[in-house]
């Protein structure tokens, strides 16, 4: 008698969501305003504008540009805007803040564009293993988005999951 192997994962009806697929493309580079401060404390508008004009902005082509100031300094709000104005024709994305904050904002935006009806009454696995560092905030945002419509949510790999949420059965 021949025995047929049954793939229980395929037959389970689980929808696997791989958040790594939504990871932003391109390298991450920092633009640190501290390098343009007068005496390491304040930003002089005229000097800053002159320095920005002399930068080869093409080096930021297709990069995710993160604008920061790594020291305590007196910075006007327009300083970040001015850097963004110069970088916009070149950079893939521009963000004022560090990489972790950028990734959280990126995933919030991506998840907010999902359609709830695509996930209604489905059993889902938020895939856990990835080559890129998907932030914990992305998984938190995904659960918050999916829970109102999902039948159940798991974390991990389809063959080995941790239950996160299961809709209560109506009595």
> Concatenated DSSP letters for 104-146?
HHHHHHHHHTS-GGGGTT-EEEEE---SS---HHHHHHHHHHH
How many Å apart are CA 162 and CA 164, to the nearest integer?
A: 6
**Which pTM was predicted?**
0.83
Give the pLDDT of residue 111: 97
For residue 161, pLDDT beyond 60: yes
Give the pLDDT of residue 28: 97
For residue 123, pLDDT beyond 50: yes
Residue labelled with tokens 């950028």: 102
How many Å apart are CA 74 and CA 76, to the nearest integer?
A: 7
Local confidence band at 9 (pLDDT 50, 70, 90 cut-offs): very low
Please name the helix (run of DSSP H) or strand (run of DSSP E) that holds residue 17, with its range, or none.
strand 14-17
């Amino acid at each position: 008698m021949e025995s047929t192997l049954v793939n229980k994962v395929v037959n389970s009806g689980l929808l696997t969501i791989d958040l790594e697929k939504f990871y932003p493309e391109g390298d991450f580079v920092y633009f640190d305003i501290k390098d343009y401060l007068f005496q390491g404390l304040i930003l002089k508008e005229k000097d800053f504008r002159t320095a920005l004009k002399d930068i080869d902005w093409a080096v930021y082509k297709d990069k995710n540009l993160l604008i920061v100031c790594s020291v305590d300094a007196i910075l006007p709000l327009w300083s970040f805007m001015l850097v963004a104005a110069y970088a916009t024709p070149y950079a893939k994305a521009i963000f004022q803040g560090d990489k972790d904050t950028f990734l959280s904002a990126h995933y919030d935006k991506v998840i907010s564009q999902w359609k709830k009806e695509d996930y209604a009454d489905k059993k889902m696995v938020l895939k856990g293993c990835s080559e890129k560092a998907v932030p914990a905030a992305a998984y938190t945002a995904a659960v918050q988005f999916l829970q109102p419509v999902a039948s159940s949510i798991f974390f991990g790999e389809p063959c080995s999951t941790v239950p996160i949420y299961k809709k209560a059965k109506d009595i």
